[in-house]
Amino acid sequence: MLKNFLKQSKKADILYLDSPNNPTGFQFTKTELQTLVKSFDGLVIIDEAYGEFADYSLSSFAKTQSNLIVVRTLSKSFGMAGIRLGYFVANKKFTDAFLNVLQYPYPLSTLTIESGILALENVGLMENAVKIIKSERQRIIETLKNLILLMYLIPRLILYYLMPIVLTNVYFLLLQNKEFQLEN
C-alpha cells in the first residue's frame, strides 16, 4: 500500500496526509510514515488533527526531518474548535519562514491566546477525556464485532438448525393426520 502511495505521488511537490485519517481512522504505521517522509522528495505535511487518539505521533521526527511539517489543532482532543487554534511542529527552517510571514500585531485574538494557554495548563483534563473516548471506542468496536458475528450466525442457525427441526415437526404432525398417512 505504501509503495502504491509513493508511486502515485511521484510527480507531486507536496504530500498532505491525515494521520489518522478522517473519516476512516486509517493510519500508516510509524515506520511506514517515516519511510514515506524519507523517500519523498518534496514537502510532507502530516495532519494530526486526531493525533491524540492515535498510538503515536510524528512530531518529534519533524525536528530532524527538514521536509516534514506536522500540523495539530485544539479543535478535537481539547474540544475547543470554537477558539480556532492550531499549531505546527517543524524544522527551524519552517518555523523561521512562518514567523517572517506572520501578520503582526494581532495574528491571533487575545481570547484565543488566553483560552489556549488555559487549555495547555490543564492538559490533564484533555488526557483524561481522550482516555475515556479511547476506551469507549474499544467498547463500541467489540460490541459491533459481536453484533456482526450474530448477524452472520443467526440466519445460518435458522437455516441449518432451526428450519430442519421446524420442518421435521411439521412433517411429523402432518403424518399423524390421517389424510397424510402413508398406505401400503
Ligand X SMILES: Cc1ncc(COP(=O)(O)O)c(C=O)c1O
* The three grid cell numbers given for residue 100, joined into one nine-digit string: 517572517
User: Which residues ranging from 41 to 70 are in contact with ligand X (CB under 6 A)?
Assistant: 47, 49
One of 73, 83, 88, 126 touching ligand X (CB under 6 A) = 73
User: Least CB distance from residue 93 to ligand X, whole Å?
Assistant: 23
Residue 91: φ, ψ to 5° = -60, 150
Dmax over CA atoms of the chain, in Å, equals: 106
Between 123-157 and 110-121, two packed helices, what is the crossing angle to 10 degrees?
Answer: 70
* CB 41 to ligand X: min, Å: 24
Pick the stretch among 36-44, 58-66, 73-81, 140-148 that binds ligand X (CB under 6 A): 73-81
Asked if 22 is part of the footprint of ligand X (rule: CB under 6 A), the reply reads yes
Helices and strands counted in the chain (H then E): 7, 4
Closest separation between CB of residue 18 and ligand X, Å? 4
Per the document, the length of the chain is 184
Among 12, 81, 125, 157, binds ligand X (CB under 6 A): 81
